[in-house]
Amino acid sequence: MTTATQCIFCSIARDTANPDVLYRDDRCFVVRDINPKSPVHLLVIPNMHIASLAYVGPGQVPVMGHLFVVAEEMARRENVTLSGYRLTLNQGPDAQQTIAHPHVHLMGGRQLGDMG
């Protein structure tokens, strides 16, 4: 299991001077995906390392809900609120999750295909 000391998203969270961070507050931060799948492809990432959604309980509801509030704010900044966008949170192997620190993908700027 990836620990917080090995986790790439935790290292970005710790680097408060990282110029790639588009948005930051006390609960989350936002970066552009390094391998974008759409013209707008951002990641909204909690500061806290949570190895799996299995560890999300009532105590994490404020931070997890906040990710969606920040995603909408970022969509507005990226001018995709009217054209539309997709929020995706991959969990586990079948969803092809590659980084074991929860993150919401915000994708837009083109017609997105069917989910599948």
Catalytic residues: 103
Whether residue 108 contacts residue 14, with contact meaning beta carbons closer than 8 Å, is answered with: no
Q: Which stretch binds ligand AMP (CB under 6 A): 22-30, 64-72, 75-83, 89-97?
A: 89-97
Distance CA 73, CA 12 (A): 21
> Please, which residue, 82 or 98, has the CB nearer to ligand AMP?
98
Distance CA 69, CA 54 (A): 22
HSE, CB side, 13 Å, CA atoms: give it for residue 31: 20
Using CB under 6 A as the binding criterion, the count of chain residues that bind ligand AMP stands at 11
> Please, which residue, 7 or 112, has the CB nearer to Zn ion?
7
Stretch 14-73 residues interacting with ligand AMP (CB under 6 A): 31, 33-35, 43
> Please, which residue, 58 or 116, has the CB nearer to ligand AMP?
116
DSSP code, position 13:
H
Distance CA 34, CA 43 (A): 10
- Residues lying near ligand AMP in the complex (CB under 6 A): 8, 31, 33-35, 43, 90, 96-99
